[in-house]
């Protein structure tokens, strides 16, 4: 009797083992389902991660530049110390060296030369066109200063006439100012304005996002498919630091 029960238990145990297993077809189907789900979700997770990193760097860079500029304004009792003009590289260099650079952690800078901006190709707008005043690996503008921070952010500065800034970058000016193209992930790409490059304007009102004096409808249109992307930083600020699907890869 004891032997029969033992054998019976052994048979039952073997049957349970056989029932608990999976056939090759079942395993392949399961792996296929996992693969499909992964293919659908991983790109979204990667995109969300890149958005979060871009927003964090953009916030930090904007805050850092704003604090540095406000400090130079306070130290020099107003904006009257700003003495640069469109096409005058030396005035830009003097301002940068004496006022801005001491207040930032800069690892490398380039004056009217390649080596600090993107190593390949040109900077593009959101609509695929070449950026205004693009100079390839040298940078963007006429009298260009480019510097790199220690967290791999590239800042391209160019002096511009008041009319050019108002017409192209949507900020009303009473005097020449500075246009800053800020690439939050350096040379990583895609190097597109409105995706990883955002535009600031510095004048006697403060450091402002390009598009600051445009309507919400104008800003949104510029930061949508077919737009230039120059006003995307204004869009982000007005949208409580959120990025839509069309802006960051």
Residue 43 above 60 pLDDT?
yes
Residue 112's pLDDT band (boundaries 50, 70, 90)? very high
Residues contacting 135, CB < 8 A, separation 6+: 141, 144
pLDDT at 93: 87
Quick: pLDDT tens for 121-165.
Answer: 899 999 999 999 999 999 999 889 999 999 899 999 998 888 999
Pair 227, 199: CB distance under 8 Å: no
Give the separation between CA 70 and CA 228, rounded to whole angstroms. 29
- Half-sphere exposure for 116 (CA within 13 Å, toward CB): 24
Pair 222, 125: CB distance under 8 Å: no
Give the separation between CA 160 and CA 16, rounded to whole angstroms. 80
Higher pLDDT, 77 or 169: 169
Pair 193, 232: CB distance under 8 Å: yes
Residue 44's pLDDT band (boundaries 50, 70, 90)? low
Quick: pLDDT tens for 10-33.
Answer: 444 555 555 557 788 777 788 778
Q: Measuring CA to CA, which residue among 248, 192, 218 is closest to residue 210?
A: 218
pLDDT at 135: 94
Pair 144, 158: CB distance under 8 Å: yes
Residue 1 above 60 pLDDT?
no
Lowest-confidence pick of 12-16, 37-41, 53-57, 112-116: 12-16
Pair 174, 227: CB distance under 8 Å: no
pLDDT at 249: 41
Mean pLDDT of the chain: 82
Most confidently modeled range among 10-14, 102-106, 166-170, 223-227: 166-170
- Residue 137, CA distances (Å) to 80, 110, 114, 125, 195 in order: 33, 11, 5, 16, 19
Tokens of 98: 């004496």
Greatest C-alpha distance within the chain? 106
Give the separation between CA 18 and CA 134, rounded to whole angstroms. 69
Quick: pLDDT tens for 89-107.
Answer: 887 888 888 888 988 999 9
Residue 242's pLDDT band (boundaries 50, 70, 90)? confident
Beta strands per DSSP E along 131-249: 144-149, 154-160, 177-183, 197-203, 206-209
Instruction: Name the DSSP class of 210.
Output: T
Give the separation between CA 93 and CA 243, rounded to whole angstroms. 34
Give the separation between CA 153 and CA 30, rounded to whole angstroms. 43
The distance from CA 31 to its chain's CA centroid, rounded to whole angstroms, is: 36
Residues 229-243 have a mean pLDDT of: 90
pLDDT at 215: 96
pLDDT at 111: 94
Beta strands per DSSP E along the chain: 106-111, 144-149, 154-160, 177-183, 197-203, 206-209
């Amino acid at each position: 009797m004891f032997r029969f029960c033992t054998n019976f238990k052994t048979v039952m145990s073997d049957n349970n083992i056989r029932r608990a297993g999976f056939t090759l077809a079942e395993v392949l189907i399961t792996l296929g389902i996992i693969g499909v789900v992964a293919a659908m979700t991983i790109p979204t997770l990667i995109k969300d991660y890149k958005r979060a990193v871009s927003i964090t760097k953009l916030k930090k860079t904007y805050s850092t530049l704003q604090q540095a500029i406000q400090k130079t304004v306070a130290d020099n009792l107003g904006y009257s110390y700003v003495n640069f003009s469109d096409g005058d590289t030396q005035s830009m260099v003097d301002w940068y060296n004496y006022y801005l650079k001491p207040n930032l952690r800069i690892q490398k800078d380039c004056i009217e030369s390649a080596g600090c901006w993107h190593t390949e190709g040109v900077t593009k707008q959101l609509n695929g066109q070449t950026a205004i005043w693009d100079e390839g690996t040298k940078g963007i503008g006429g009298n260009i200063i480019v510097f790199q921070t220690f967290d791999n952010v590239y800042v391209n500065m160019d002096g511009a006439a008041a009319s050019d800034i108002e017409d192209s970058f949507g900020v009303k000016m009473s005097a020449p100012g500075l246009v800053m193209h800020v690439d939050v992930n350096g040379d990583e790409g895609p190097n597109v304005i409105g995706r990883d490059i955002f535009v600031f304007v510095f004048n006697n009102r403060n450091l402002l996002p390009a598009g600051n004096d445009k309507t919400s409808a104008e800003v949104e249109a510029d930061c949508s498919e077919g737009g230039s992307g120059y006003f995307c930083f204004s869009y982000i600020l007005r949208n409580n630091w959120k990025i839509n699907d069309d802006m960051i890869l």
